[in-house]
Amino acid sequence: MNCAGAKLTGPGADMDEYKTLREEAFEANLEIKKQNLAIHTWGNVSAFDPARGVFAIKPSGVAYEELKPESMVLVDLEGKIVSGNLKPSSDTRTHQVLYREFPGIRGITHTHSPYAVAWAQANRSVPVFGTTHADQMTGEIICTGFISPEALKKDYELETGKLIVETFRKNNLNSADITMVLVAGHGPFTWGGSASQSVYHAAALEEICKMALLTLTIDPHAKPLPEYIVKKHWERKHGPDAYYGQNKTD
């Protein structure tokens, strides 16, 4: 697939316009490999620019080693390609729905990392077994139901996005606080304030899923962490009086 480095032509050929966004998406896609989150081409990241309403996403089926910033495809929130000669990731329409429905997110990652996939294949939400999980979020990593045959026939990837959004609404989950989900029988989607942060969450999710599986291996009846510890851990990292990390004004 030597097409990955193809020169841009047509309406989006002016590189400068989307240069930064392409580069952000490009760098974040390389992180999938560096952080060992997928073999082959089994993962994709996009970076979103809300001012223009477009996101840059990995081209479909192109190896990470062959990617260049200019191989990223620019897509708007209607799913129209606005720049790029390659076909975007087959999961593009799922990204599109999430950018439309989850306010404030700027990056999305989808992988087939094995522990996260195992929970999705077992069709189970991941209980909060410990503080590693609670550092990320206060509740289970929720697993959606299976997509319905009707939804699948309409537009599989678009409806997968809708399924995620619906699952969040039904369960009163806030996409600003909870930045990861498992799609039943499929695998994880994560998001964040940037493309790079969405990959960070994808790696955190994989590690939490591994720890949870190992916990069940030791004790199949392991109980979730007491609620008051869950709350404390999340608050020290994300609450109004969070004291984890460095202040931006330092």
- Return the active site residues: 135, 244
N- to C-terminal Cα separation, the chain: 46
* DSSP character at residue 146: P
Q: Which is nearer to a second copy, 52 or 85 (CB)?
A: 85
Q: Which is nearer to a second copy, 50 or 226 (CB)?
A: 226
Burial of 163 (0-12, 13-18, 19+ CB in 10 A): buried
Q: Which is nearer to a second copy, 52 or 124 (CB)?
A: 124
CB of 103 to a second copy, least distance (A): 25
Angstrom CA distances, 60 to 43, 48, 127, 202, 203, stand at 10, 18, 33, 19, 22
Binding interface with a second copy (CB under 8 A): 1, 3, 6, 35, 39-40, 42, 59-62, 85-87, 90, 112, 114-115, 117-124, 129-132, 146-147, 149, 152, 156, 185-187, 200, 203-204, 207, 210-219, 222-223, 225-226, 228-229, 232, 236-237, 243-247, 250
CB of 52 to a second copy, least distance (A): 25
CB of 208 to a second copy, least distance (A): 9
Query: CA 101, 102, 107, 111 torsion: positive or negative?
Result: negative
CA distance 28 to 198: 9
